[in-house]
Chain A
Amino acid sequence: MWRFFAAPATLLILLALLAAALVVSTLVPQIPPDVSTNPQLWLALQPELQSPSNDLAQALGLYGIYDAFWFRLLLVLTGLALFVWMVESAELAWRASRGRWTPSTLALWGSHPLRHRLAMSRAPAQIEGQLGAWLAGRGYRTVPVARSHGIETAPNWVASRRGALLWARPLAFAGLLLALLGLAMAVIWGWQGSQWQPAVGERLAVGHGTGYAIRLDAFEPLTGGEVEPDGGRYESRITWLVGDQPVGQGLAGIGRPATRGGLAVRQVGYVPDVTLRGVDQAGKPVLFQPGVVTSKATEQVSLAFGSSETQQVIVLPDQGFFLLLDLEPASGGADPLLRLALLRSAEAEQQSLAVLRQSGAVSFDGLHLEVDLGYRPVLQVDYRPGMVLVIAGIALAAVTVAVGWLAGPRLVWMAVAPDQDQAMVHLLALGGAGESGWLSRLAAQLQQELTDVA
């Protein structure tokens, strides 16, 4: 099993399959996370997916690749392969730092290391001494390879320069493994609550066994004076509660979540909000009942216009008619536009009352209504325990690949073997960026040096 995962082809094939799965996930429609509780309904609503091949694609989990069994198996296998490679390359780095080499450890060089041979018209014993001195003069640390018991072998050395950088390789694998583990933690133990559009003062029980609740205290655009939040510069002030007891406060802005105990409240957007209140001719407060008939009539009503909503209906139960609110979202720097219309009955025609770009008052039929145009935040609570590992892992992989790429360690295995009247110097180097050219240059310099001395 170890050999299977240590085989270069295994890791390469697993990475190729992962890359292919990522590409396919962008070409096949994926079930959105918010309908993951009822994916069959979502699939039934997609006309382009009503084909005979749909069943096969569904059986293969192509509409939810990241949740498919085979994709998770692929991630587990990739993790195992990365672990094996990490251990193997850590052993190489450890041996290089300790200088503990035996003939059997040549296997760590891989099945096809870079090779070079130099033919020398001199005795192996003479070459040994000169080679060591020459390499030491160039900053190489030369360590003899321990001989196996009872086996007579030619003199072997391992020369290394910048050997400590060999640790970059296991660290790169460790980084990728860490990222995979973090992703697994975030998916298995993490959760994401649905989006919440609270008015100031509203509270939400976080749930998921946390015991926390959050309350929106304020939603503030940071542009000073302007009503419309600009350029993402807005934030929500919240209070963390346990029961009714405040236990802390926080500020959530775009990309700046308010966190507590691993939980995060994120500001994911904002929506327009219309608040209505008013009095009749007698100075008595007008009662409003939002379109949903089951809702209670109140003296003040606040309605949020989600991204897909442009119209809302309010019943005025005491007056016996409806108010129609039609909001045109802000675009091109312009404020949103609110059209207020009166509907006396379901059959009657709309009677336009007002067109507002900012807060104002409307009077009709003896009623005086105040209309406040504002915004509500869109908040989201989530718990993602492994995301720090994902980012740290990718960053570690990037840094260590960069270190190995810019300042590659030099490791060369040398053996001097007698060959009739002369000696043959065998050089084997680890592969890597530019290693082939480096080994050729080293061999040429070595040939020159040993020839000059002769």
Chain B
Amino acid sequence: MSPEAWALAVAAVLLAVACVVEAAALAGGPAGAGRWRLPGLLLAAAAAAALVVALALAVAARQAWSPFDLKQTAIALAAATLAIYLVLAVGLGAGGGGLLAGMVDLVVLALTLFGWLAVEPGGSAPDAVQRGLAVQVQWACFIVGSGGAVVAGCAGLALAVRARLIGRGRELACPRRTDLHHLSSWSAGLAAVALAAGLAVGTWWAWQATGSPGTGDPRTAWLVAAWLVALMVVWTYRLGERSGRWAAGLSVVAAALAVTGLLAVPDLRLILGL
């Protein structure tokens, strides 16, 4: 196994354990939630550190950070998602344990396994236009924005699952609805800002280098779509107190667009024979 594969394996194990811990926190009822909060956060933080190490090793192996390397992109997205979740959960004091944490850990675990097992390192070699610093900044912003969208999507999913669990009368340690909306609106705001920054830098570079508003990379179109949906989430939250359900649903759509755009568009086009 390559060095980054070991780091990814460690991250996957830590995330799997974190999922179990969060499930225990959820099943422990309102009294048990506080007890599991710190171990869950520590496991997630350790997994985030392992993902950062894996990314550094993957970059060192290729001697360059490349957004066209699907493995690096998947690891970077997993690390960004976990880091954004930890910062928001600790900073806002919301959604730190149980349902939402478990949801984020599960999604990041899936991204980690994808980066570890499903894709080979490499990808197309960037041409002269794609080697510009602006392209690196653009994709760094896109990855941070996509991470924000994934956290918002997890909060949206957690709201839906919470509603079902409460409807069935289960005595679980469900997070408060307002906490989930708070975290969802903040992460959607981050996604809207970071994706817009990436888009502005990318458009400027495409204009300077090719004279067109875009470089023709289909992934960018998906991320612009994710940005538009993230803006919809931000505005939906501004519409008032009855808009939470719509905002939660749109957060899930934004997350799906961002993840598909970053990781699956080339395969999607192959599958569809395009």
A positions within 8 Å CB-CB of B: 8, 11-12, 15-16, 18-20, 22-23, 25-29, 48, 110-115, 183, 186, 192, 229, 231-232, 254-257, 264, 266, 268-269, 380, 382, 384, 387, 390-391, 394-395, 397-398, 401-402, 405, 430-437, 440
Contact = CB atoms under 8 A, between A and B. Distances in A.
B139 to A, nearest CB: 16
A433 B186 contact: yes
- What are the 3 A-B residue pairs with the smallest beta carbon separation, nearest first? A232-B128, A112-B240, A398-B196
Contacts of A255: 129, 132, 134, 205, 208-209
Contacts of A401: 189, 192-193, 196, 231, 234
A404 B266 CA distance: 35
Interface stretch (B18-26, B34-42, B95-103, B217-225): B217-225
Interface string B196-213: 110110011101111111
Interface in B155-187: 178, 181-182, 185-186
Interface of B: 92, 127-129, 131-132, 134, 178, 181-182, 185-186, 188-190, 192-193, 196-197, 199-200, 203-205, 207-213, 218, 221-222, 224-226, 228-229, 231-232, 234-243, 257, 265, 268-269, 272-274
Nearest to A233: B128
13 contacts: A12-B236, A15-B232, A48-B273, A114-B241, A183-B213, A232-B129, A254-B209, A384-B211, A387-B203, A390-B207, A394-B196, A398-B196, A436-B241
Contact of A11 (B213, B218, B235): B235
- The majority secondary structure among interface residues of chain B is helix
Given A23-B222, A113-B241, A437-B178, 20 more contacts: A12-B236, A19-B225, A19-B229, A25-B221, A26-B221, A27-B274, A111-B239, A114-B240, A192-B212, A257-B208, A266-B208, A266-B210, A387-B203, A390-B213, A394-B200, A395-B196, A398-B197, A430-B238, A431-B238, A432-B237
Nearest to B205: A255
A352 to B, nearest CB: 31
A405 B257 contact: no
A398 B239 contact: no
A266 B204 CA distance: 14
Contact of B257 (A18, A19, A380, A397): A19
A22 B199 contact: no
Given A15-B232, A266-B209, A394-B199, A433 B240 contact: no
A81 to B, nearest CB: 11
Contacts of B241: 112-115, 431, 436
B189 A405 contact: yes
Contacts of B273: 48
Nearest to A381: B211
B197 to A, nearest CB: 5
B131 A232 contact: yes
Contact of A431 (B92, B237, B268): B237
B207 A391 contact: yes
A303 to B, nearest CB: 22
B218 A26 contact: yes
Nearest to B193: A402
A382 B131 CA distance: 22
A192 B129 CA distance: 18
